[in-house]
Structure 1
Amino acid sequence: MRFLKSFYIHNTFFWYLAILAAMFMTSYWYKWLYPIAWICTMVLLAMFLFDIVLLYATKNSVKASRSLPQKLSNSDHNPIVMEFISTYDFKTGITVVEELPIQFQKRDFKYNTILTKKEPKIFEYTVRPVERGEYYFGNLNIYVSTPLRIVKRRFLYLKNQMVPVYPSIIQMQKYDFLAISNKLSEFGMKKIRRIGHTQEFEQIKEYVPGDDFRTINWKATAKSNQLMVNQYQDEKSQPIYSVIDTGRVMKMPFNGLKLLDYAINSTLAFSNVALKKNDKTGMISFSKNIETFLPAVQKPTYLNSILEKLYNISTEYTDSDFGLLYAHIKRKVNHRSLLLLYTNFEHITAMRRQLPFLLAIAKKHVLVVVFFENTELEELINTSADDLQGIYHKTIAEKFSMDKKLMQKELQQYGIQTILTKPEELTINTINKYLEIKARGLL
C-alpha cells in the first residue's frame, strides 16, 4: 500500500502512449510500421520498469524541511523557507506541492526545480495573513522523477505545523529601530515646531542660531565667556492609553484587513514607540462591555502583555457603549492621560450621539479620536460619471466624504484632537499626533 500511495505516472508517459497509438493506427496503411510499433512498446515497458527501479531502489532519497517563524505578522509579507537535498546519483526533477493553511484559500501552490546529488536547494516564498489566530501548514508533498520522466515518486513530509498569527510584529520592529535612533522623521514622521518648551531639564549647551533667547543661562554664560542655553526635553513617564472600539463599525474591511486589525497593528507599534520614549502605556478595548483593561505601566517587558491581549481581541456585531467607556475611564484612569480612541463614524449623526461622552472624557484627559477615511469612496469620487446613475453614486459618495471632514471639524471645535486617516496610513499618523502632543506640551 505504501508503494501504491507513493506511485504516480508522469505526464510525459501519456505523450509516449499517444505516439505509440498513432504508430499502431498508421500501421493499418503501412504494414512495415506494425513491428516497429511493437518494438517501441517493449522499449517503453522496459523503460517504465527501469524508471521504477531507479526511483525506489533507495529509501528517503530526497529530504525536505520547512522553516516557519515562531509567529507570523498580520498584514505583512512573512518569509517561509524550504530546503531540499537529494542523494540520488542522477539529476532529479521535483515538483513541490505545499498545503497552505485554509485561511489563505490557495490550493494551487506548486514549485518545480532540479536537484543534483547532495547539493541543497533553498526556496523562499512569502505569505500575507489578514486574520489573527492559529494557522496550520499541512503536508509538504514532493514528487520526484528521473530524467526519463515516466513515473513519479511522492515523498510526504511535515504533517500539521501550527504557527500563530499575531498583530504586525514586523511593523512594530520597523518603528522600534527608528525610535531608538531618534530618526522617526525619516520615515514620514513630520518634524513638529515646538511652541515653548516643557520643564524637563536635560543639559546646558552652547547657543546656536535658532535657540530660544528665553533659555539663555546667564550664569553659565558668564563662566564660559560665550552664550550658553538650557536645553529641555519632553516630559517622561506620562500615561498613554490606546482605546480600541471592537463594535460592528470596526468590522469593515479594506484591502482584506478589518479596521480593527489596522487599529491593533497601530496600537502595538505606537505602544512600543511610547515605551522607547519612556512613557507609560496601557490599553482598553470595549464594545457592550469593557473587554480588556491594562493599566499604564513603564516597563519594556509590558509590551508582551499588550501583544497577548491584542492577539485575542475580536469584533462584535453590536453597537459600542461609550457611556460605559466614560464610566470605566473615570473610575480606573485617575491621572491625566493621553487617550487614543480608535473608532469609526460613517455618519455625522452617529458621532453626535457619542459626543456628550467624548466631551466628558476630554474634560480630564487629552482625547484623540481616530477614525477612518473610506478609501473606496475616494476612488468613486475621482472617477468620471458617464450616466445619470453614475452622477447619483458620485454625489452620494462626495456627501459621505464631506461628512467625515465635518465630523473632524466639529470635534476640533470642542477641543478634541482628531485623526482622519486612510487605514494603511494609520500607524504613521498616530505616531505623528503623539509626537505633536508631546512637543506642544499638551499632556
Structure 2
Amino acid sequence: MINFLKSLYLTKRFFYSIAAITVLFLFSFWITAIYPIIWVILVILSIALIIDIIALYQSKGLNAQRILPEKFSNSDANSVKIQIKNDYSFKVFAEVIDELPIQFQKRDFLYTAEIKPAENFEFEYEVTPLERGEYIFGRLNIYAQSILKLAKIRKVFNAEQMVKVYPSFIQMKKLNFLAIDNRISQAGLKKIRRLGHTMEFEQIKEYVTGDDVRTINWKATAKHRSLMVNQFQDEKAQPVYSIIDTGRVMKMPFEGLSLLDYAINSSLAFSNIALRKKDKTGMISFSAKIDKILKDSSRMSQLQRIMESLYNISTDFKESDFGSLYAGINRFITHRSLLMLYTNFEHPSALERQLPYLKAINKRHVLVVIFFENTEITKLLHSTPENLSESAHQGIAEEFSQNKVKMAKELQRHGIQTVLTRPKDLSINTINKYLEIKARGLI
C-alpha cells in the first residue's frame, strides 16, 4: 500500500477541476438550482479518477533504460540515450526526469513525449563534462499519464550508473583523421614544407629525372660510370615525450577548462599523431617532484596506456620544481628525444628562475616549451575603457600581454623551441610545431 501511494500522483488538471467545483458550490449558495448538478459533476470526476488510476496500474506499464557510452570525452558533447517501451493498450503521455551527475549542477532536466501503444520510443540528449573522473547518474524517473490526465504514476529505472570521463578522445580522433587524410591545412592546421633530408640512409640507386642532384654519390658514379644517387628514408621510431606541469600554475581556468585539462587533451591528440608517424611516445607529469613516467613505445597500445595515465592526473597546488624534472629526465630518458613541455609563466621572473634548467634540458634534447596566452587579458585589451580606472586596468593588461611575448622571445634566444598559444588552439599549434620539427629534421 505504501509503494502504491508513493508512486501515485494527482495532476494539476485534477486540482483545477476540484477548485472549479468548489467555486461552483459557492455560487450554489445563491443559485440553488445548480447544487444537484455540481454533485453529479463531482461524482463523474471521482469515477474518472478511479478509472484513470486503474488504467495506469492494469499492466506492466512502461519499461525504460538509460544507455551510456563506455566512456565520456572531456570538454566534448557526449550523447546519452533513453529507450522507453509502452506496454499499455493506450497512448501514454510521459515525463522523463533523469538524475544527472552532480558535476553538471543541473536539476531541471525534463523531457516530455507522447508514446503510442506498444511503441518503442527513443531519444537522446547531450552532456558536456568539464572535469575528468567518475560521473554517477542517479535514478531514471518516468511519469506516465493517460489521456484523462487526472493522475500519473512514477516508475524508477537504472538505480545508479557510473561512467568515466577521459581526456578528449573525440578531439584526438578528429585531428587524427585530418593528419591521415593529408589535410593538415584544415581547421587551423598547416602544411610544413620538408627541408633537406633525414640522415637515415636506405640505398644507392641510379639517377632518374627528378632526383635531387644534391644527393649524387660521386664515388659510386665514378665506379659505375653513370650517375648514382643516395636514397634516404624518413627516420622513424624517434622518442617523443609529453611533459605536463601539474603545479598550481596549471589550475587557472579558461572557458570552463583548467590549463591542465587543455594540456592533457592536447597530449592525447599529439601522442596519437606521433604514433601514426611511427615515432615512440611517452609521458611525464611533475610538480614538486616527478609523479608519473610512462616510457616511450611505438606500439598503438601505448595510446591506451597514455589515456589511462592522463585520466588520473590532477593539480596539487604546489610550486613546480624544474630541478627535479631535469634530474628525472637525465635519469630516465637516455636517448636524444623531443620533449613537449606543457607549463605556464605569468611573469618574466618566473621564467628567469627556471631558465637554467630549461637550457640544461635543451642541451641534450629538443625541448619545446608550450605556455599560454591569457585570453581574459586579451579581451580586456580589445574593450573600450569608459573611465580612468578601466584605462589603468587596460594599461596593466597591456604590460602582462607584452611580458608573454618577451618570454617567448627569451626562450627562442637561448635556442629553445617555443609555442605561445591560446588554450583552445593548443592541440592544433602543438601538432603544427611537431610537424615543423619533423620537417626540419631536428630530431
Q: Shorter-chain TM-score: which interval?
A: over 0.9
Q: Percent identity?
A: 57
SS in 1 for 2:330: helix
Partner of 2:11: 10
Q: What letter corresponds to residue 3 of structure 1 in structure 2?
A: F
**Contact preservation (8 Å) 1:240, 1:281:** yes
Counterparts in 2 of 1:2 and 1:438: CA distance versus 1, 3 Å: same
Aligned partners of 2:265 and 2:230: how far apart in 1?
Answer: 38
8-17 vs 228-237, greater mean Cα deviation: 228-237
Q: What letter corresponds to residue 419 of structure 2 in structure 1?
A: I
Structure 2 residues not aligned, in runs of 5+: 222-226
SS in 2 for 1:114: strand
Shift of 1:230: 7.2
Shift of 1:36: 1.9
CA RMSD after TM alignment: 2.2
CA deviations on 1:195-241 (whole Å, 9 max, x unpaired) are 22223467989756xx75435799999xxxxx998775532111001
Structure 1 residues not aligned, in runs of 5+: 222-226
Aligned partners of 2:334 and 2:64: how far apart in 1?
Answer: 57
Partner of 2:364: 364
**Contact preservation (8 Å) 1:254, 1:423:** yes
Partner of 1:417: 417
Partner of 1:298: 298
TM-score between both structures, scaled by the size of structure 1: 0.93
TM-score between both structures, scaled by the size of structure 2: 0.93
**Contact preservation (8 Å) 1:234, 1:439:** no
Aligned partners of 1:218 and 1:302: how far apart in 2?
Answer: 43
Partner of 2:38: 37
CA deviations on 1:301-347 (whole Å, 9 max, x unpaired) are 11111111111111011101000101111121111110000000011
Partner of 1:434: 434
Partner of 2:331: 331
Shift of 1:12: 1.5
CA deviations on 1:145-194 (whole Å, 9 max, x unpaired) are 00000000101100111111111111122222233333333343211122
Aligned partners of 2:331 and 2:46: how far apart in 1?
Answer: 84
Shift of 1:122: 1.1
SS in 2 for 1:72: strand
Counterparts in 2 of 1:86 and 1:412: CA distance versus 1, 3 Å: same
Partner of 1:94: 94
Aligned partners of 1:356 and 1:246: how far apart in 2?
Answer: 20
184-193 vs 125-134, greater mean Cα deviation: 184-193
Shift of 1:103: 0.8
Aligned partners of 1:429 and 1:388: how far apart in 2?
Answer: 37
SS in 1 for 2:313: coil
- Give runs of aligned pairs for residues 21-420 of structure 1, distance below 5 A: 21-58=22-59, 60-200=60-200, 212-215=212-215, 232-420=232-420
Aligned partners of 1:158 and 1:342: how far apart in 2?
Answer: 41
SS in 1 for 2:185: helix
Shift of 1:81: 0.7
60-69 vs 184-193, greater mean Cα deviation: 184-193
SS in 2 for 1:184: coil
Aligned partners of 2:87 and 2:153: how far apart in 1?
Answer: 14
Aligned length: 435
**Contact preservation (8 Å) 1:207, 1:228:** no
Counterparts in 2 of 1:151 and 1:232: CA distance versus 1, 3 Å: farther
Q: What letter corresponds to residue 44 of structure 2 in structure 1?
A: V
Aligned partners of 1:110 and 1:187: how far apart in 2?
Answer: 36
SS in 2 for 1:346: coil
Partner of 1:224: none
SS in 2 for 1:335: coil
Aligned partners of 1:324 and 1:198: how far apart in 2?
Answer: 33
**Contact preservation (8 Å) 1:86, 1:117:** yes
Shift of 1:418: 0.6
227-236 vs 282-291, greater mean Cα deviation: 227-236
**Contact preservation (8 Å) 1:242, 1:284:** yes
